[in-house]
Structure 1
Amino acid sequence: MAWQNKTLFNRLIFYPPAISAGQWDRFVTHGFIHADSMHLLFNMFTLYFFGRAIEGLYREFVFGYGFVIFYVLAIVAAMIPSYIKNKRNASYLSLGASGGVSAVLFAFILLAPWEMIYLFAVIPIPAIVFAIAYVAYSIYANKQGGSNINHLAHLWGGAFGVVATIILHPPILLHFLNALISPQF
């Protein structure tokens, strides 16, 4: 609907001056609009495959809504640093579910660090190697700037996924460390 209705799109997008003026719902709504169908498809493809793997971890919380709450909180948490950095920047806009999707992906990596992730759906790479490369690239790209991608949201979404999963399931940290020292391909 937001692609067809510019007024709706502008009301939902992450825009720090509007948030500072009291439109706090934009911390959530920006995660449910995307720039185009490819942006949406990529995020939902990733969410579908990795979300299915970790949904069971969170289902037991909050009367079965733990995964949904985890995902929405990740969307919010991933944008807090961007908001702080751009609070007074009237030209800053952000949209998409990448922060929440990164949280899901990194929670999955805690579960299965040596599982193969298929980069661009064809190149197999161990999840832990992907995580290291993804974090390094996101830091580099964030420092470079000049793109329309919110790399900071990717980093903070991933961090949220790791921290929240460890807090809710402390044994997962030991599982992750044991899995790291005992690779299984």
Structure 2
Amino acid sequence: MGGIDLVIIAVIAANVLMSFKGFKDSQFFNKYKFDVSSIKAGDKIRVLSSGFLHVDTTHLFVNMLTLYFFASSVTSFLGTTGFLLVYFGSLIIGNLLSLYFHKDDYGYTAVGASGAVVGVLYAAILLQPDMMLGLFFIIPMPAYVFGIGYLFYSIWAMKARRDNVGHDAHFGGAMGGYFITLLLSPWVLKEHLLMVILLAVPILVLFVLQKMGKL
């Protein structure tokens, strides 16, 4: 097993160990979860640490399985350092966007690696836009169609507020994966320009809606 593979396994292991600690120790979980009031009071570590906690084993399994499938695509193009920049950058950007949208909701809390994982997924889509994804692991779909559709769904879910899922963190994670990948691999702008433009559309829509006060 190469060094790159070991880094992916190490990230997954860190999520598993910290999540299982949180499952058994509510004090630990509450100390490191994303909590708007605590973060605004100066407890900034939660912006990072909350990304390694999960609600339950299903939440953890889905995130780690998705990460496992797409991380190798990112490491093959960006290397170990690039993968880590995408992962942690997306995690932090996702949580910062969530903080922005919930800055006045002092009771808002969240956990999960979803922002980081979606960032890795979007990096993989930019780097290999012709790859196919299995929707629900069954229905074949072009990666870029899934990417665009997922972001528009996230915008709708952020407006609807009908569930307890951190859609804003997912969206911020996708933005992190998008912009960090372009910074690290500017060749993507030349080789996959149409996909770069198409994947930017929902990001622009989000901020236009925000500016108009419709989110």
The normalised TM-score by structure 1 is: 0.89
CA distance in 2, matches of 1:42, 1:15: 23
Give the alignment of 1:77-96 within 5 angstroms.
Answer: 77-96=93-112
- Structure 1 5/179 Cα, relative in aligned 2: closer, same or farther at 3 Å? closer
Residue matched to 1:183? none
CA deviation map 1:31-75 (0-9, x unaligned): 00011111111111111110111113332xxxx534223311210
Shift of 1:178: 6.8
Q: Structure 1: which 5+ residue stretches go unaligned?
A: 181-185
SS across alignment from 1:166: helix
CA distance in 2, matches of 1:71, 1:132: 20
Q: Which amino acid aligns with 2:30?
A: N
CA RMSD in angstroms, aligned pairs only = 1.6
Q: Between Structure 1 and Structure 2, which shows a larger proportion of helix residues?
A: 2
Give the alignment of 1:6-45 within 5 angstroms.
Answer: 6-45=26-65
CA distance in 1, matches of 2:91, 2:168: 12
Q: In the alignment, which of 158, 166, 184 is matched to residue 150 of structure 1?
A: 166
CA distance in 1, matches of 2:184, 2:88: 16
Q: Does the 8 Å contact 1:111/1:175 carry over to 2?
A: no
SS across alignment from 2:134: strand
2:65 is the counterpart of 1:49:
no
Return structure 1 stretches of 4+ with deviation > 4 angstroms.
none
Q: In the alignment, which of 180, 185, 193 is matched to residue 164 of structure 1?
A: 180
Q: Which amino acid aligns with 2:96?
A: I
SS across alignment from 1:2: helix
Query: May I ask how many residue pairs the two structures share in their alignment?
Result: 176
SS across alignment from 2:106: coil
Q: Which amino acid aligns with 1:159?
A: M
SS across alignment from 1:65: helix
- Structure 1 148/178 Cα, relative in aligned 2: closer, same or farther at 3 Å? closer
Q: Structure 2: which 5+ residue stretches go unaligned?
A: 1-20, 197-215
Q: In the alignment, which of 132, 149, 161 is matched to residue 116 of structure 1?
A: 132
Q: Does the 8 Å contact 1:112/1:179 carry over to 2?
A: no
Residue matched to 2:25? 5
